[in-house]
A and B are shown apart, each in its own frame.
Chain A
Amino acid sequence: MKTWVNIFFLTLLLPHLAQAEVKVIVPGQQTGTILYSSEEKKELTPVRVGQWKDFCDKLAKNLTQSANPPGFLSSASCQALGVAPPIAKADSPFWQIQIIERKRFFDVQTSILTAKEGYQKLRTHSFKIEADLLENFKSDEVALAIARLVVESIPTGWVYTHDASKDNFTFVSDKGVPSLPPDLLVYELSYDTATKKWMPKVRARLKRTKEENKLKERTETFKVAQVYLPLVDKKMYWVQSTQGLNKRQAEFEKVLGRNMQGLSLLSFLDKLILGSLESNYAGFRYGKSFLAGSSIVTETDMLSILGEMRGGLFSGLRIYYDLTPEKTKGSGDEAEYFRMSRLSLGWAFDYELPSFMNFLVSKVEVQPKFGLLDLKSHFTVLDDAGERQSLAFDAKNIYDLAIELGIEKESYWFRSRLWYSFSAAAFGLENKGNVSVFSNKAGIDAYFDFINYGTWDINILAFTSVERLSLSKATTKLADDADLGISDISFNLFFVGGGFTVSW
């Protein structure tokens, strides 16, 4: 029995063991492609296609090992806009540098494709930018700075060809970009697909001995300072800063900032916040009336379903369905009941505030909404003469127009929103009583991150809202009691509640 159990577990393990492989990443044999994608699906005009091609050609050139200073690819191709990426050969590592334009920022993402692992994201740099991305890619310095940023942040580093006949060797680069790291390690590199670890075998150390700056060029002289393992003449190795990867982001940010309008490097937390600004939300909430009094409206509840699109093609779309379920009180002529439902479709226009205000408010939002309102109500009220009057407002599918103003504060673990809306509902095919509803409403919503599943978050929602609702209808003019007829009523609704949302 025990043997069979062992065989069973071995059977489970064997496929995994068979896949384990240590792949040598050989300098001089790395190919890659450079892609552009836009979350907002921007139109592929000839101008944009040309802007991308110009930039991509320059970036590709700087990423190849023939550049000075060298890149890490033996060859790099550019993916034209709107064309599907090529299917890479799985038998050798294939690299992908992707420029992803998002609504508020852009990513430079470096990935590697291996036969068994598929695409694996290695490094993503995110930058906020306040202008059109492709238009800002014009400068040669931008392509060079992005290429240097990429090679200094991935395990390969860049290619170094050892020349035993030279004591010193030089790199010549544009003076506009930061000089190379002064202390470098020369190594061979392999990747263990089982443990997903990069394993360098360090062979030597290079040190910068001289740096000469001319008008536009910088010449840096290096020498082999230490040899730990023999170096083979004319052989290519990887070289990376002694300090490790991605240590000079701020220096490259300065170069990009000089050439790109309103550019700033996003830290991990900044990106989370901007990412949450672009998250889509869907959720449910329940609120209970906290008004005191004897009216039926003090006993109402509120159920609400919401959908807020903040990223992607439909970014700005808002859908809400608010239901106040029917509540009944009393019987006969004195019976009171109230039910209201409102389906709204809106589109949010948001405006980001200057950075110095972000500690208080992240953005301001204006949201016009259109909806349909159903109302079924019956109240008993006292008129001016002190007599009890019965008043009913019934309408179905009356048109509701609203404008909402909101201010939002985002952090990486919560989002809060203070809002005010005014709506007017009147007309409609099934509004035989000519009922009109005016509403002044304000509230606070707060979303707190609760559970995270990859790109999906479950958030807890707390909210409170107060609404001044004014109902009116056309009265039938009777000669005797026209002055006594009551045609409008105003009352408050106040809800406090909570719920949950899913964001992605």
Chain B
Amino acid sequence: MVRSLLILISLCAATFARAEGDNIPDPRTWAAGLPDAIWTDTPGIVRTFTIVQLSKKPSKKWTRIAEKLTNFGFLQFFPVDASSFAANINIMDDAAAEKGSDVKVDNPGVHLILKEEKGSKLVPQHVTDGKLKSFGKWTITKPDTATSETFYNWLVKKMAYDAVVLDVKDGFILAGLLHAKADLGQGLLIKNSADKQVLSATKIKGDALLQMLRVEGEYAVFESLLSNSKAPIKPGTKILLGQSEQLKSMMAPSKKGKTAAPAAGEAPAEAAPAEEAPAAPAAEAAPPADAETSD
């Protein structure tokens, strides 16, 4: 029922959408002109990730995977922990270099940390209130789980959104797409998601229906077709795309015939076979009733 209604609204709204080329800004040029503060000081924009390996002889397999992840979309691999680079360029004393650095430099430039654990496990973590919080665990057990694409799909599913708003200007919305695209589509603006780095799939509520007007790889320009709220859209607000795996899984009918997202802790159907139960906190294991999408 909800699904049919959504499709109908989308078709009507698309009729009134601006034609492509109608002064629609180039998303890549727009992104390149954004002030640094948008990228560095917006808590909800997750742009960079790095891999932290604790072993003395770090394996290159994770780095090889991570290098490829950058080709998929908005998330960019940062080859070292940003704070360790900042600390390293502060080592001037020969003695300090001999015994190892204890220089502390507060320069958190990396948003997402993929921490290696024993047994070929990778634990994605994000910083919330100054503390690292895990939101899943990836294990390589089969060849297909070792591919970058499989891992990236899993990671994006765990983050539970497809795009993030970077800027709003003259009625246009610039967003970064976790999966780079070539085709236009529609999206759902997620309510109260601007300050969050990772969403909980069970707590998502729509706030507006968006139409993608122009796309250049990992950047896209949207406009709002329908909105529940008159409040301005904040950078960092998350978007679910119409044909994305995220939205499909949310719109999939439950066993009771209701639209429902998978409960936290349940492995989504598309997830890699080796995926372990995500380390979501108990508080996020909300009942399916919270997982409805707004129309």
In the bound complex, residues from chain B placing their C-beta under 8 Å from that of A225 are 70
Q: Mark B32-52, 1 if CB is under 8 A from A, else 0.
A: 111010011000000110000
B203 → A minimal CB distance (Å)? 29
In the bound complex, residues from chain B placing their C-beta under 8 Å from that of A185 are 79, 85
A202 interfacial by beta-carbon distance below 8 Å: yes
Q: Are A199 and B105 in contact (CB under 8 A)?
A: yes
Q: Are A268 and B92 in contact (CB under 8 A)?
A: no
Q: Are A244 and B88 in contact (CB under 8 A)?
A: yes
In the bound complex, residues from chain A placing their C-beta under 8 Å from that of B88 are 243-245
Of the listed stretches B94-102, B191-199, B222-230, chain A binds B94-102
Closest partner residue, chain A, to B40 (CB atom): A229
Pick from B76, B86, B107: contact of A226, CB under 8 Å: B76
Pick from B32, B85, B107, B109: contact of A242, CB under 8 Å: B85
Interface size range of chain B in the complex:
20 to 34
If A228-B39, A230-B34, A267-B98 touch, does A245 touch B89 (CB 8 Å cutoff)? yes
In the bound complex, residues from chain A placing their C-beta under 8 Å from that of B78 are 202, 205, 226, 228
A376 interfacial by beta-carbon distance below 8 Å: no
Of the listed stretches A118-126, A254-262, A422-430, chain B binds A118-126
B232 → A minimal CB distance (Å)? 23
B59 interfacial by beta-carbon distance below 8 Å: no
If A197-B105, A230-B34 touch, does A245 touch B94 (CB 8 Å cutoff)? no
Q: Are A229 and B89 in contact (CB under 8 A)?
A: no
A242-295 interface (Cβ within 8 A of B): 242-246, 267-269, 271
Q: Are A199 and B77 in contact (CB under 8 A)?
A: no
Tell me how many residues of A have a C-beta within 8 Å of chain B: 31
B1-47 interface (Cβ within 8 A of A): 31-34, 36, 39-40, 47
Closest partner residue, chain B, to A125 (CB atom): B94
B91 interfacial by beta-carbon distance below 8 Å: yes
Q: Are B77 and A226 in contact (CB under 8 A)?
A: yes
Pick from B31, B82, B95, B107: contact of A268, CB under 8 Å: B95
Q: Mark B83-121, 1 if CB is under 8 A from A, else 0.
A: 011101111101101100001010101000000000000
Please, how many angstroms separate the alpha-carbon atoms of A225 and B63 in the complex? Answer: 14
Please, how many angstroms separate the alpha-carbon atoms of A202 and B47 in the complex? Answer: 13
Closest partner residue, chain B, to A195 (CB atom): B105
B277 interfacial by beta-carbon distance below 8 Å: no
Q: Are A202 and B82 in contact (CB under 8 A)?
A: yes
Pick from B32, B76, B86: contact of A230, CB under 8 Å: B32
A361 → B minimal CB distance (Å)? 25
Which among A121, A202, A227, A271 has the greatest number of chain B C-beta atoms within 10 A? A202
In the bound complex, residues from chain A placing their C-beta under 8 Å from that of B79 are 183, 185, 205, 242
Which among A155, A229, A240 has the greatest number of chain B C-beta atoms within 10 A? A229
Pick from A124, A198, A226, A228: contact of B90, CB under 8 Å: A198
Q: Are B32 and A199 in contact (CB under 8 A)?
A: no
A178 interfacial by beta-carbon distance below 8 Å: no
A234 interfacial by beta-carbon distance below 8 Å: no
Pick from A122, A227, A229: contact of B36, CB under 8 Å: A229
Please, how many angstroms separate the alpha-carbon atoms of A185 and B95 in the complex? Answer: 25
Q: Are A228 and B48 in contact (CB under 8 A)?
A: yes
Please, how many angstroms separate the alpha-carbon atoms of A199 and B109 in the complex? Answer: 12
Q: Mark B191-227, 1 if CB is under 8 A from A, else 0.
A: 0000000000000000000000000000000000000
Which among B47, B84, B97 has the greatest number of chain A C-beta atoms within 10 A? B97
Closest partner residue, chain B, to A120 (CB atom): B92
Please, how many angstroms separate the alpha-carbon atoms of A242 and B82 in the complex? Answer: 10
Pick from A243, A245, A246, A268: contact of B80, CB under 8 Å: A243
In the bound complex, residues from chain A placing their C-beta under 8 Å from that of B95 are 268
Closest partner residue, chain A, to B94 (CB atom): A268
Q: Are A155 and B39 in contact (CB under 8 A)?
A: no
If A228-B109, A268-B97 touch, does A244 touch B89 (CB 8 Å cutoff)? yes
Which among B31, B98, B105 has the greatest number of chain A C-beta atoms within 10 A? B105
Q: Are B86 and A268 in contact (CB under 8 A)?
A: no
Please, how many angstroms separate the alpha-carbon atoms of A336 and B240 in the complex? Answer: 108
Pick from A183, A226, A229: contact of B70, CB under 8 Å: A226
Q: Are A201 and B36 in contact (CB under 8 A)?
A: yes
In the bound complex, residues from chain A placing their C-beta under 8 Å from that of B77 are 226
Pick from B70, B85, B105: contact of A202, CB under 8 Å: B85
Pick from A183, A199, A269, A271: contact of B86, CB under 8 Å: A199
Q: Are A202 and B31 in contact (CB under 8 A)?
A: no
Please, how many angstroms separate the alpha-carbon atoms of A183 and B77 in the complex? Answer: 13
A498 interfacial by beta-carbon distance below 8 Å: no
Please, how many angstroms separate the alpha-carbon atoms of A124 and B107 in the complex? Answer: 26
A368 interfacial by beta-carbon distance below 8 Å: no
Please, how many angstroms separate the alpha-carbon atoms of A227 and B34 in the complex? Answer: 13
B167-213 interface (Cβ within 8 A of A): none
A200 → B minimal CB distance (Å)? 6
Pick from A124, A226, A230: contact of B33, CB under 8 Å: A230
A383 → B minimal CB distance (Å)? 66
A96 → B minimal CB distance (Å)? 14
Q: Are A200 and B85 in contact (CB under 8 A)?
A: yes
Please, how many angstroms separate the alpha-carbon atoms of A206 and B47 in the complex? Answer: 17
The 4 closest A-B pairs by CB, nearest first: A244-B88, A268-B94, A155-B89, A230-B32
Would you mind naming 8 contact pairs between A and B with Cβ atoms under 8 Å apart?
A123-B92, A199-B107, A201-B40, A229-B39, A245-B88, A267-B98, A268-B97, A268-B98
